[in-house]
A = this chain, B = another copy of it.
Amino acid sequence: MAVHNHHEHAGASLAHAAESALVNAGEQWTDMRADIFAVLATFEKPASAYDIADLVSQRRGKRVAPNSVYRILDLFVTTNLARRVESANAYLANSHPGCLHDCIFLICDSCGTATHIDDDTLTMNVRAAAEHAGFAEVRPVIEVRGKCADCG
């Protein structure tokens, strides 16, 4: 497995890293964005936009429409603060914002929790295969569904 240097953040450290990354990207770190990121970061499992909308609504004492959540999640995804898990129609906070690479997500069909592994050799091979087939601006989606160790 390829070695890869980066920090895995958690809690306040993660929120701070996210803020820095967003500001570095020339975007604002608003209260709404902070709340959405905070809620997203509490999840072990990929969170749907609607899940997030509900929790953010509670936290703010005022309904936040899914619409608004989607807008901000899209921003987070494009700025690498969050990842979309395609096979779950849901989102995860990126535990290492600012570190650009393709993650491989493992999602348990049984308990729903997601873990992520990094293997740059593997993901580069996927990119290379796609480019060899004439694709450009490739964005690999590598997810593995299965049964996690706990649910084994």
Binding site for B on A (CB under 8 A): 1, 86-87, 89, 104, 106, 108-109, 115, 117, 119, 122, 125-127, 129-130, 133-149, 152
A126 contacts B135, C-beta separation under 8 Å = no
B122 contacts A129, C-beta separation under 8 Å = yes
Q: Given A86-B86, A122-B122, A129-B119, A139 and B135 touching (CB < 8 A)?
A: no
> Could you tell me the distance in whole angstroms from the C-beta of A25 to the nearest C-beta in chain B?
21
Complex partner residue of A146 from B139, B142, B143, B149, CB under 8 angstroms: B139
A147 contacts B136, C-beta separation under 8 Å = yes
B138 contacts A141, C-beta separation under 8 Å = no
Q: Given A1-B129, A129-B104, A144 and B135 touching (CB < 8 A)?
A: yes
